[in-house]
Chains A and B, each alone.
Chain A
Amino acid sequence: RPVNIPRKEKDFQGMLEYKKDDELKLIKNLILELKPRGVAVNLIPGLPAYILFMCVRHADYINDDQRVRSLLTSTINGIKKILKKRSDDFETVSFWLSNTCRFLHCLKQYSGEEAFMKHNTPRQNDHCLRNFDLAEYRQVISDLAIQIYQQLTKVMESVLQPMIVSGMLEHETIQGVSGLKPTGLRKRTSSIADEGTYTLDSIVRQLNNFHSIMCQHGMDPELIKQIVKQMFYIIGSVTLNNLLLRKDMCSWSKGMQIRYNVSQLEEWLRDKNLQTSGAKETLEPLIQAAQLLQVKKKTDEDAEAICSMCNALTTAQIVKVLNLYTPVNEFEERVTASFIRTIQVRLQNRKDSPQLLMDAKHIFPVTFPFNPSSLALESIQIPGSMNLGFLLRV
């Protein structure tokens, strides 16, 4: 019976040895049956990725190419399987996106390629793979990460979708504006705040929830920025598309409410230090539509100002908003047909898309900038709760 002699951390080489027959159990316990919530809160972010990589390192160390191949294939298939099973669970998808990226970063950081070794400690350089070049597998794992990113976008969209029209357009929070209704249009909802109605606060709370989950999972900051940009694009495009289809949303007071809501979203970005994410820029068409609702629309000078202001809107969108515009009181006037014609003439040289609605399903291309970790592999300990007692620290 082996005697359990406690070893010092420096004696470990940052590898995990496992029996070939235990590979299935490893995938089952580490990927298929792991609960992201418990792990995310209690353990090192990216721990599953580090564990998998330390197993790869051992297979590489013993120069067993079949074992490396088999482990990488089982890992990829295991991740795909759990994402199919919990396809609409944001926590699971976020968790495996973070871990897949961390695994990819490990494969680069310890590849032995100089470009990826710049920030390594001497000890980390000692831990580089010895026998195999896994560049082709890195490509497969990068493709897998892209798939997971697209899945995450779909999950976010399905959660946000029911909140957007209600929270960004219908619900009114600005005092003194809510009483003003476009003439001839009746309020769609009762004057008593409807229970279960989504407000801007619901959207902000949801953004906080997404953001905090991603942070708990140790998602790369650059990746969080891309995801937030995608979330804002969904909010902006769905809001604008609904505005373009609803006369009751095209009034001066709605313009004011939208601008207030957008300012709250911008404040959220500042609060999370995400101003450089490009998220705000995705709201530009919506911001301009809201401004269009509020500016004067009468003289040639007004037309010129509108044409130079609305560079993120297509001609079709500008014309549609002007056509739908509905005065809220006797001090405002409907936009005249001749004013709209003036705008059309001024914009006829623009080579923009004739499309009225934005593509709310558009997904921006994602990148995974290399983000090496300072964590020392030899210091990693596996908690008993993960049921991985069959892995031997080497």
Chain B
Amino acid sequence: STQRPRPRVLLKAPTLAEMDEMNISEEEESP
């Protein structure tokens, strides 16, 4: 079997704390 090249597109991720903030604001927005 051939080895695949390393995936090329780096997906930028928010930090865990930033995710928390996004989640809180989403919850606030929803009724």
| Chain A residues packing against B (C-beta within 8 Å) | 60, 65, 68-69, 72-73, 76-77, 80, 111-114, 117, 122-123, 125-126, 128-137, 139-140, 143-144, 147
Contacts and interface: CB of A to CB of B under 8 A. Distances in A.
Given A77-B23, A123-B1, A129 B7 contact: yes
Contacts, number: 69
Nearest to A81: B23
Q: Interface extent on B, as a size class?
A: 10 to 19
Contacts of B9: 65, 131-133
A113 B14 contact: no
Contacts of B22: 73
A69 B11 contact: yes
Interface in B1-31: 1, 3-16, 19-20, 22-23
A112 B11 contact: no
A73 B19 CA distance: 8
Contact of B12 (A80, A113, A136): A136
Contact of A131 (B8, B12, B23): B8
B12 A132 contact: no
Main secondary structure of the interface of A (DSSP, over half): helix
A117 B3 contact: yes
B13 A133 contact: no
B3 to A, nearest CB: 6
Interface SS of chain B: loop
B15 A143 contact: yes
15 contacts: A65-B9, A65-B11, A68-B11, A69-B13, A77-B23, A111-B7, A112-B7, A128-B7, A130-B4, A130-B7, A132-B11, A133-B7, A133-B11, A137-B11, A143-B15
A133 B4 contact: no
Contact of A137 (B1, B3, B5, B13): B13
A140 B14 CA distance: 8
Contacts of A147: 16
B16 A76 contact: yes
Contacts of A132: 7, 9-11
Contact of B10 (A126, A128, A136): A136
Nearest to B8: A133
A133 B8 CA distance: 6
A143 B11 contact: no
Q: Which 6 A-B pairs have the closest CB atoms?
A: A122-B1, A136-B13, A133-B10, A133-B7, A143-B16, A137-B13
Given A76-B19, A123-B1, A113 B13 contact: no
Contact of B11 (A76, A123, A130, A136): A136
B11 A134 contact: yes
A123 B19 CA distance: 35
A214 to B, nearest CB: 24
A182 to B, nearest CB: 52
Contacts of A112: 4-7
